[in-house]
Structure formats: structure tokens, C-alpha cells
Amino acid sequence: MDRLTVTRRQALRTLGHAAAGAAASSLWVESLSASSRQQVHAPETRAAVAATDWKPTVLTAHQNQTVVILTELIIPETDTPGAKATNVNRFIDRVLAVAKPGDREAFLRGLAWIDQRSQVLFGAAFAGTDAANQTTLLTRLSTEGNPDKEDPIGLDFFRAIKSMTINGYYSTEIGLRRELGDSGRLFQTVSQGCDHPEHSN
């Protein structure tokens, strides 16, 4: 199984807990992952993602394009729509808009690092290189033990965006009903909010 893609079991585990590998991540990764889980239940976030006149609040046009590519590599279109079709990039932009400034800045540093690393390895920014190179770079970041000795900021960034992608995708009706086979009950719970104490703040 490709390390970049997300299985149903991984997705369900992440919806209930922190993303895999978070214990080894920097505090900003854990904080941003938690913020993304909270935003799953926020009506304002759902409205922002669904807006017909949507424009990114935090991300530049280039950054947004890069995030679209990254999220689609994590949850690609198969026989069901992928992250791009469900506007996960919009969800991530919204999470960044309401995140702690330090968390947001760390994410953007990681996003810039992706471009810089792609430039070194392949001679082009991440969005400007081909799909094979894009997958190669993310595989280097996701391989257990970091045998390629990638910079910690890159490893942390990949953990953060993977967690945010999972939360964003599996909060949508497409993600829950068509990919996870939910009957609608879980989607309604996510849409309307839940009464778990940890989500009450």
C-alpha cells in the first residue's frame, strides 16, 4: 500500500485520535491537527468551504495550488472523488485562518520548504515538477525512520498536512458516504456538531 494514500481504517482512527506519528511531531503539528479536528464541527468552516465566491484567506494562489496537489496525492481520486474534488484545500485555508499565529507560520514555512526541496531535487518548485517527482518527495518524507535524512521541518509539515487532509476529506458527505460507506448518521453528527467533552471548547 502506498504510504502517501490513506486507508479507511487509518482515516477512521485519525478522526477519533491524533494523526499517526503525532507523538514524534513538533508541538505545532499536534496543535494544528487538533485545530483541524475542531473545525470539522464548525458551521462557519463548512460555510467558508462551500462559498461560491471562495478565495483563499491565508494562502497565496501559488500556495493554494501546491496544497491542492499535496492533498490530492494523499487522498487521490479513484472510483470516488479525491481531496481536490471535495475542496480540502479550502478546509486547510480556513483552519490556517483561525489557527494560532505560530502554528500558521510554521505550516507556511513547511510549505515553502517543500518548494525549496523540490527545487534542489528536481530543478522546479513542487507544483512545477511532474507527478512522479512529487510522489518521490512525499515518499521520502513519509518513509519510516527517515532514511533519506530529510529536514525535520519537512517531516513535520507532511504529518500536519496529512492530518488536516484526512480531517477535511472525511468531514464531507462524499468522504463519509461514498468512501467510508456511512449511511448518513456520521455525516450528520459531523455537520451538526457533537457533544463530546473534548469538542466543547
Q: Find out whether 141 and 155 touch, Cβ atoms under 8 Å.
A: yes
Stated length of the chain: 201
Mean pLDDT lowest among 44-53, 141-150, 186-195: 186-195
Mean pLDDT of all residues belonging to the chain: 81
| Residue range 8-19, pLDDT digits in tens | 434 444 443 434
Between 76 and 10, the higher pLDDT residue: 76
Q: Which of 166, 198, 178, 171 is nearest to 40 (CA)?
A: 171
Between 142 and 92, the higher pLDDT residue: 92
pTM above 0.85, yes or no: no
Residue extents of the structural domains in the chain: 27-193
| Residue range 143-185, pLDDT digits in tens | 989 999 999 999 999 999 999 999 998 877 665 555 544 333 3
What pLDDT does 25 receive? 65
What pLDDT does 200 receive? 39
What pLDDT does 163 receive? 93
| Residue range 109-119, pLDDT digits in tens | 999 999 999 99
Query: For residues 110 and 196, what is the distance between their CA atoms, to the nearest angstrom?
Result: 32
How far are the Cα atoms of 22, 35, 42, 150, 200 from residue 50, in angstroms, in the given order? 29, 19, 13, 36, 24
